[in-house]
Amino acid sequence: MGYKIIIVIFCFLINTVEGKISSGILISNNDWEYLDRFCFVSQEGTFKYNIYYPKNFELQSIYMYYDTDNQWKAAYNNISLTCNDRERLLDPKNYQIIRLAPSAKFIDEHSSCETIEKNNESWYHCFGKRSFFSMRPRWWYFAIGNCDSQNDALPISLLFLFLIIVVLLSSIIFSYVLKKRKMLHITFRLFLHSLFCELIASTLLWMHFDRYADDGEGMPLLKFCSMILRQFSIVLFVLLLFLIAKGYTITRAKISTCSSIKIVFFISAYFVLRLLMLGWEIIIFDPAQITYISESVPAYCIIYLNICGWIWFSRCSWVTVKKYPLKKRFYIFMNIFSTFWFWSGPIVLIIANFILDNWVREEVVQGVDSAIITAGFIFFLILTCPFCKAKHFPYHIRTNQIANQQNNFPNNVYEIGAIQNGTTNNCA
């Protein structure tokens, strides 16, 4: 974070004395700084603030901690905590966080923020007051921070959105090449549908966090919609993995009725559990005790299904390779990837729930989920790269030949002829 200049004027008023005035100019390259402390000894006291800071350093926030082990001591003594970690120690419902921006919501008509011009630059001027009621003397500690500074590294949500866009553009190019070669099979189209759902989900999530950085509230509806679309994306990708494991469009044109029923049952259960996990957060979760949806019963059921899915995928892949050894290279890579994909989620969830501190749990799980999903898209895209040197390319039957095949394809790789300038270049 770059240097920030903040002009601060505090007034701490109580009934029996005039109060304490604290003022000065803060220059710091940290995203969280201690300002002052005051002990309110009466039943009622008032805290007034008057702050100026450059607009390009929004969104600044005032944090008010009281003198307990789980608030100020936890925030100040633990130097390993980030600004977001220190903010999560406070409960917004207790009005211990004051957002300093014109778009922020204030609890009374005496508090406000306005945009002013200062030295040909846009600044924010924020002023207001906050009342304190206490039955015993208590120290209050005041800090200021910018936990969502846009001057820091690229936010995680924006980073993964950028990666998804790059993958989508590459997929469009691959789709064009596959379509010209008449090899744009249903499995690759299913991959595109999953990728498109994740693109919309990442976009909505980025919009939520972008607004959250401005007003501290964000757009919860967009965040919820993004989570729904992400579940669709994950379920479609799992369906894609099972179809590939059975050799659909790679070694066979049809899947047996028994296998189809198993796949439908598993995917339906997987999808219902993922939706139930989101509903669990809305209906059952107690925010005072639970910090993230990974702590729910459906989340642990999903762990069980992930492990079962990995076992089933490995077995089906082994059977397919046994019948079609020419696809061994492709399925070796797919099994290595599936092991990572199916196991990383459960491992991270267990670590998050039982090892990580609760104030970093949501951030870590969301970041890892995005990384796993993005890695899955990138890996599949590499394996299906439709170029001559891609020896692990899975498809060898054209889409217009599938109708003429029986359940199983011939056990050989068709040569793809591409006529260029009157000559034919063949590649396996």
**How far, in Å, CA of 95 to CA of 44, rounded?**
16
- The answer, yes or no, to whether residue 238 has pLDDT greater than 90, is yes
* Number of residues assigned to the chain: 428
When comparing pLDDT for 41 and 62, which is higher? 62
3-state SS track over 326-371: HHHHHHHHHHHHHHHHHHHHHHHHHHHHHCCCHHHHHHHHHHHHHH
**How far, in Å, CA of 70 to CA of 52, rounded?**
30
Q: What are 301-326's pLDDT values in tens digits? A: 899 999 999 999 999 999 988 888 88
- The answer, yes or no, to whether residue 12 has pLDDT greater than 60, is no
* Domains of the chain, residue spans: 4-145, 156-404
The mean per-residue pLDDT over the stretch 56-80 comes to 84
**Type of residue numbered 377:** F
**Type of residue numbered 358:** N
Q: How confident is the model at residue 2 (pLDDT cuts 50, 70, 90)?
A: very low
Instruction: Please tell me the predicted confidence (pLDDT) of residue 385.
Output: 82
Smallest CA-to-CA distance from 282 within 231, 223, 230 is with: 223
When comparing pLDDT for 22 and 399, which is higher? 22
Tell me the percentage of the chain whose pLDDT exceeds 90: 21
The mean per-residue pLDDT over the stretch 24-50 comes to 80
- The answer, yes or no, to whether residue 212 has pLDDT greater than 90, is no
Residue pair 376/337 in contact (Cβ under 8 Å)? The answer is: yes
Q: Tell me the CB-side half-sphere exposure of residue 22, using CA atoms within 13 A.
A: 16
**Type of residue numbered 133:** F
Instruction: Please tell me the predicted confidence (pLDDT) of residue 424.
Output: 37
**Would you tell me how many other CB atoms lie within 10 Å of the CB of residue 360?**
17
Axis crossing angle, helix 297-323 with helix 328-354, rounded to the nearest 10:
170
Fold of 156-404: Rhopdopsin 7-helix transmembrane proteins (1.20.1070)
Residue pair 21/10 in contact (Cβ under 8 Å)? The answer is: yes
Q: How far is CA 340 from CA 12, 198, 307, 308, 318, in A?
A: 56, 19, 11, 14, 17
Q: How far is CA 148 from CA 83, 86, 87, 88, 356, in A?
A: 9, 13, 11, 13, 22
**How far, in Å, CA of 243 to CA of 286, rounded?**
39
Q: Token match 């050799």: residue?
A: 247
Tell me the percentage of the chain whose pLDDT exceeds 70: 77
Q: What are 97-153's pLDDT values in tens digits? A: 888 888 777 767 778 888 888 877 788 899 888 877 767 777 888 999 887 654 443
Q: Token match 């892949």: residue?
A: 317
Average pLDDT of the chain, as a whole number? 79
Q: Token match 């994306």: residue?
A: 233
